[in-house]
Amino acid sequence: MVAARAGGMHASQQQHKVAIIDFGSQYTQLIARRVRELGVYSEIFPYTADAGTLRDFSARCVILSGGPESVTEDEAPQPACDIAALKTPVLGICYGMQWMASRFGGEVEAAGHREFGHADIEITAPTRLFDAGAGGRLQTWMSHGDRVVALPPGFSGVARSRGSPIAAMADEQRGFYGLQFHPEVTHTANGREILRRFVCDIGGCLPQWRPGGIIEDSIRDIREQVGDEQVVLGLSGGVDSSVAALLIHRAIGDQLHCVFVDNGLLRLGEREQVHDTFARHFGMDLHTLPAAGIFLKALEGVVDPEQKRRVIGGLFVDMFEEKARSLGDVRWLAQGTIYPDVIESASAGREGARLIKSHHNVGGLPDKMKLKLLEPLAGLFKDEVRKIGAELGLGREVLDRHPFPGPGLAVRVIGEVRGEALDLLRRADFIFIEELKNGGFYDRVAQAFAVMLPVKSVSVMGDGRHYGFVVVLRAVETDDFMTARYARLPPDFIEGVSRRIVNEVPGISRVCYDVSSKPPATIEWE
């Protein structure tokens, strides 16, 4: 079993803080991010957290997240502690509101008209939570099947929508509020202002949280956790593992041994870039393991993306442990795990959540692993990680790179992973990214990549008919990666990228562009 798992951010007792009780919503981590964007530190606790744990955290206010369950069910998630006894303002969002209504004597029922997506609400009474008075309207994002139909004693209804007679409720005297909609998503107009009013105006929190202070705290924590023991880190070249490497190296120097596994599933030129940045520029102890053949052999016949992740994660751990033994008495495996990795990895232990996908950092580690885990970024969001990386001296060519999945191109080759498909995809993806940069679009989209489909399509080149692979180009716009819309790139630009790929990558005959948004689609195709 994993002997220990260390990492994450911890605020001082003097700092104003917000506790977020997680009922399993896919947006829970987004709530935490929004609070931190206000300059206020937040941490997430499972609904099973006891009163002592929450009291020790000393939160000035509490937010109850949404969740996939129904409060009307017998086995519905219930907080392990008495939320009212914490004597702090409380904001319930979606399931959190429904639980508050049920807990304090109101009534919740299954809605005849479920609301998913955009919904306009009408403010029916003034409240400290909204900047608009009665009669005002607000565009929100709903995602619920139940609704509150009778208010608990002491609460008043302050908003309604077409499907929810009580879309928001408030007990101003106790500082208890409920929202049927999600203020944390960008689709809710003034959602951040609603959260600011609760956290700062009602909860009394001051903006004392600054990512710049994370470095000193992290270095201290890493030194305390590791002591004089040796650490091995899997360096992929992506933002997360790169920043983790620099942070740990700053803390313990030569006790860190970085291992770059050339697994044959990486982007074009990845190996050379990693060596130039970390071995040559930063002077780190970097070990490169050529392992493409091993990974491709293990992936033969594997088509399910979850199985691909398990296979790749298992091989990574095996190689790290073997390398660790060759380096001497290495006790720690460091990883660049961040919050977005955890949110879609319910198998890592998030109470009440439903699995969307596992992540090789947090959901694919085998029980046989003996190394302790060091995850100094596990409590941070991508924007916070980038700010730390910039302060540590990491160049923009690394910091501004789009996200890349841990299993690499294995999950962007749909179906069985074969060497030919990987080589073609690598080149097509490189052309797409190069054209985005040349056209000034790269920094305007949050993530872009190519996907290889397991089908071939006819093409006519010269005087002959050929059958070649089909690739799909994917580019999305988002600021939180929880929701996203496809990037509206100019048709002429897409046509130019397609022409280059077909002309320069023999074996690809057709190029498509993905116009799906999230939800319902995910950003990756896996």
What is the bridge-based pairing of β-strands 230-234 and 256-262?
parallel
Please state, in angstroms and as integers, the Cα–Cα distance from residue 98 to each residue in 101, 119, 177, 181, 316, following that order. 5, 18, 11, 11, 43
Distance CA 140, CA 136 (A): 13
Please state, in angstroms and as integers, the Cα–Cα distance from residue 368 to each residue in 13, 259, 406, following that order. 37, 20, 20
169 in Cβ contact with 153 (< 8 Å) = no
DSSP 8-class letter at 518: B
Residue 232, strand partner residues = 257, 333
Distance CA 16, CA 39 (A): 10
Token pair listed for 54: 């929450």
CA–chain centroid gap for 345, Å, is 10
Enclosing H/E stretch for 512: strand 508-513
256 in Cβ contact with 248 (< 8 Å) = yes
Enclosing H/E stretch for 285: none
Name residue 67's amino acid: G
513 in Cβ contact with 483 (< 8 Å) = no
Name residue 346's amino acid: A
Catalytic residues: 94, 182, 184
Mark 427-451 as b/e (b = at least 16 C-beta within 10 Å): bbbbbbbebbeeeebbeebbbbbbb
Closest CA to 433 of 474, 480, 385: 474
Distance CA 454, CA 432 (A): 20
337 in Cβ contact with 298 (< 8 Å) = no
Closest CA to 17 of 39, 47, 48: 39
**Residue that is written with structure tokens 């190519």 in the block:** 450
Enclosing H/E stretch for 63: strand 61-64
315 in Cβ contact with 285 (< 8 Å) = no
Instruction: Give the CB-side neighbour count of residue 68, counting CA atoms within 13 A.
Output: 11
Please, is 153 exposed, middle or buried when counting C-beta atoms within 10 Å of its C-beta (0-12, 13-18, 19+)?
exposed
482 in Cβ contact with 432 (< 8 Å) = no
Please, is 110 exposed, middle or buried when counting C-beta atoms within 10 Å of its C-beta (0-12, 13-18, 19+)?
exposed
Three-class secondary structure of residue 434 per DSSP? helix
Three-class secondary structure of residue 10 per DSSP? coil
